[in-house]
Structures are given as C-alpha cells and as structure tokens.
Amino acid sequence: MYASDPAPVGRVPVSLRARNLGPGPLDPLLHAIGGTPLLPIVRLAELDDAPFEVWAKAEFLNPSGSVKDRAAFEIVRTGVESGALGEGRTLLDASSGNTAVAYAMLGARLGFPVELCVPRNVNPERLGRIRGYGAEIVFTDPAEGSDGAQHEARRRARERPERYWYPDQYNHPANPLAHYRHTGPEVWRQTAGRVTHLVAGVGTGGTISGTGRYLKEQSDSLRVVGVEPSGPLHGIEGLKHMPSALRPSTYDERLVDETIRIETEVAEAMRRRLAREEGLAVGISSGAAMAAALEVGRRHPGAVIVTVLPDADRRVEGGSTQ
C-alpha cells in the first residue's frame, strides 16, 4: 500500500486577501501543505526477526521541507484572522530551525516581515534558507539551545509590543490543533484504521500531541511513543530532552504512553541508513524517530507502526566521482 491523502490544509483565509497579504484563497503553494504520503519502510524492518510493519509519514515533502509548515501556517492564520498580525507588524518567534524556515517562507509568500531568534549553532543550510526568504535572524547562545531563543524572543516582545506579534510556537494552541485537524485524520485514513502505534519526536510537542489525541479518539488501544534525546547535551536538532528543558504547553504528556530516549550517534547512523537503504534523505531527528520505531516493532510483533519523518536532509554526501 502506498497511501496519499491530500487535505486542504493550505486554504488561505479570506481575511488575508482583505489585508493584501495573500495571492488568493486557493494559492497552490499553501494548498500543498499537508496531505503527505505514508511510505512503507521495507528493508530496515525486514532485518528484524519479529514481524511488524513500519510506515513513515513523509513530512519532509511539505513546501519548506518540514512538518513545521503545518503548525506555522495554522499559527499565521490565527494571527491574521484575529488582527494581531498585519498593519506592518513583524512576526517574532523562537525556533531551533525548521519552524523558522516555515515562518520565513510564509512571510515571503504572504507579505509580512519575520524576525526569528535561533541558537547560533543551527544548521548552516537552514540559516541560508531563512535568509533566502528574507527573514531577519537574531542569534542566541548555542549552549542554551531553543530555551535561550525563547527567552530572547520574549524579551524583545515585551520591550516592543507595538512592533512585534509574538505567537510563541511552544505555547500556541494552533500548533497541536493543526495536527489534530489534519495529520491525525490523514494517518487514520492512510492506514485504514490499522495503526497500533504512533512514534514521533518531541520538540514543541505539537505533532505528537495533536496527532496522538486524534488517533486515541479513534482507537482505545492505540499507543503513543515519544522520542527524545538521551540527555540535555545532544546533537539532535529539533528535539528536546524534556526533563532538562522548558516544558511547552503544546506538549500534552498525558497522551504519551512511553518515551524512548535515543543517543545522537544512533540517530545519525539511522539517518544514513534511511538514505542508503530506503532512499529517504532525511534529517537527524528522523533518524531518532526511526530508531525508536524499530525498537517498538521488535517488542511488539504484529504492530502497525507509524512514525513521523519531520524534515529533509539537503546536505550533499558521498565519495569521490573520480
């Protein structure tokens, strides 16, 4: 089964047109947000003795290259429709990378200024894309991670409330709502209701909370597994070690039945295997999610596991062409 179920996530609100912020209610670029395919993981799963299925939600196929397009669009929609974003105000938020790219893309497409607080050690490729979309970048202490970026964004918003709209992706209800409305129903339809486990990384917690909530409403037996780095000092961009981090209100821990913590080296090795054995060039957080999904499968023969591959890997790797 190769499942694809497009959903009209990217329908631009009429109020965007009224504020001259958008090209129309059926903009094809924004309409492409969501409706990502569910891909079978074949070779990696076949290497294990226990029979189980692993399916990957290909969120790296969203327009800006990550799952964050879903939440960023839903957040921007609320800002425009409430009047909080517009009239020249700048969208200000903190991000570890992918949401920053999504916001920057939306700002360029819809015509509002964007300023983003990001740790200085964010992937250079992502920084280049943020700048390419025309957004402003404020660097924060890399040792403080995304928590430090949040502190700086809050400080700027307090000092210049007339200039900024600070939605705060880590605490905005539209973040998990985007996944409850769209990602969860997509997964349910794409698996014909067969899914037994959802395995997803925990960053803002929006993806796992919104998707998990919807799926649990459809199946009492479904289990939700969160994926976190093994400790506070790690190299898995986009994921949080919750015991040592600012806890986002967008993360509903009550929905999570189990948390698996993955070492950075394990996530990186799995990222490489996904490219070489499954043809999926994805980021390190996707490697962490897949490593956890395979662990769940080994422990639960017969499981139908859906994991989320949050973003693409645009680095060029390989040997010499000589």
Domains and CATH numbers, the chain: 14-66+173-309 (3.40.50.1100), 68-165 (3.40.50.1100)
User: Of the candidates 304, 301, 273, which has an alpha carbon nearest to the alpha carbon of residue 54?
Assistant: 304
What digits encode the pLDDT tens for the residues 136-191?
Answer: 999 999 988 888 999 999 999 999 999 999 999 999 999 999 999 999 999 999 99
216 belongs to the catalytic site: no
- Choose the catalytic residue: 57, 64, 68, 96: 68
How far is Cα 36 from Cα 60, in angstroms, rounded to an integer? 8
68 belongs to the catalytic site: yes
What digits encode the pLDDT tens for the residues 76-122?
Answer: 999 998 999 988 899 999 998 899 999 999 999 999 999 999 999 88
pLDDT category at 123 given cuts 50, 70, 90 is: confident
pTM of structure: 0.89
pLDDT at 145: 86
- Choose the catalytic residue: 64, 95, 146, 285: 285
